[in-house]
Structure 1
Amino acid sequence: MKRQAYQPILITDAARSQDDQLNSRQKRYVLMMGIRVACVIVGAVLVGVQAPLLWLWLPMVALGMILIPWLAVLLANDRPPKDEHRKTGRFRSRRRDETPPMSLTAEERPAKVIDVDP
């Protein structure tokens, strides 16, 4: 009888490890900074060869040089949201339909009577 090859169990609900998340964010950051360097080089080449429609191309390249670093930092610092069911302790939120223990409903509260006559 043949033994089957080892098949790893796929856990689809498990979150990616911190190292995997950091690695993918670093790769994305380096890629975006590479695009920024390409924008700088393209801008320098366009100015050097005095390309036609330079007034159109230069602002687009400059916009890329300004926006890409900002977006790269935002995306590099971005983490996936934490699951709600993993929250424990003081950060755990109470469901809205639960009433706090020891609270009285409207029918059980004593009615306040305010007498205005002295």
Structure 2
Amino acid sequence: MVPGGGVVKAERDDTPVLITEAAPSYDEEYSARKRKYVTMMALRLPCLILAGIFHDTWWLALAFVVVSVPLPWVAVLIANDRPPRRAEDVNRYQPSATAIEAGEHKVIDGH
């Protein structure tokens, strides 16, 4: 027993506490954005190769080129954009109106 009346455990509990509403760490978020960027930039090369393959069908080749042109710009925008902050609802205590007082009250006038 310790002087405060509490019991001290001999071993410390080092298991992590699960926080379900916690945002992902900066490193996790950064690696996810890098994966998105690499994926989008990896799609550009096949589009250009397919445009070369389908050069006889001009409209299909043009469609592949048109798709591949904005991909670097879009990839940079997505990679540099952090996810929006979540709006948190604050849990506030709201007492019910009839918790203590209910019904009519007689008013006594003391003149």
TM-score normalised to the size of structure 2?
0.58
Question: C-alpha distance in 1, partners of 2:60/2:86?
Answer: 44
**1:82 aligns to 2:85 (yes or no):** yes
Of 37, 45, 56, which aligns to 2:45? 37
Of 58, 64, 70, which aligns to 1:67? 70
Of 49, 56, 59, which aligns to 2:59? 56
Matched position secondary structure for 1:33: helix
How many residues are aligned here? 75
Q: Determine which structure has greater relative contact order: mean sequence separation of CA pairs < 8 Å that are 6+ residues apart, divided by chain length.
A: 1
Code of the residue aligned with 1:10 in structure 2: it is L
Gaps of 5+ in 1: 1-6, 86-118
- 1:63 deviates by 1.3
User: What's the Cα RMSD here?
Assistant: 2.2
Question: C-alpha distance in 2, partners of 1:67/1:77?
Answer: 16
Q: Which runs of 4+ in 1 moved over 3 A?
A: 7-10, 82-85
TM-score normalised to the size of structure 1?
0.55
Larger Rg belongs to:
2
More helix by share: 1
- 1:10 deviates by 3.2
